[in-house]
Amino acid sequence: QVQLQESGPGLVKPSQTLSLTCIVSGGSISNGGYYWSWIRQHPGKGLEWIGYIYYIGSTYYSPSLKSRVTISVDTSENQFSLKLSSVTAADTAIYYCARYDSSAYDAFDIWGQGTMVTVSS
């Protein structure tokens, strides 16, 4: 079965770029019908969708973060990545990668375990 695993630094300095990678195992990222997404959760708060990428490289970002977000895909490595620039303390959160299944569920059916990123000097 498909599994997702986030990786990246747990601590980022203010004004720098947060970079995370999500490794997809148990299935190909190039299978159609899935939108590979990033979602974050501020400590003790709700969920915020950041954006998605389709395996051919098309992307869509949340308008509130669009100016700072880049999501890319590496089909050869079966992984996708998030870059969030000019971070501040407000970007401190648990970052999840998730698969949006647009064929069977129209929902985020598989999630990574999440990785905590703290923005601090």
Partner 1 sequence: EIVLTQSPGTLSLSPGERATLSCRASQSLRNNYLVWYQQKPGQAPRLLIYGVFNRATGIPDRFSASGSGTDFTLTISRLEPEDFAVYYCQQYGSSLWTFGQGTKVEIK
Q: Which is nearer to partner 1, 46 or 76 (CB)?
A: 46
Q: Are 61 and 111 in contact (CB under 8 A)?
A: no
Q: Which is nearer to partner 1, 1 or 76 (CB)?
A: 1
Structure tokens at 55: 């395996």
Binding site for partner 1 (CB under 8 A): 37, 45-49, 60, 62-63, 96, 98, 100, 105-109, 111-114
Q: To the nearest whole angstrom, how small is the minimum distance from the Cβ of residue 27 to partner 1?
A: 15
Q: Between residues 63 and 121, which has the closer beta carbon with respect to partner 1?
A: 63
Report, in Å, the least distance between residue 114 CB and partner 1: 5
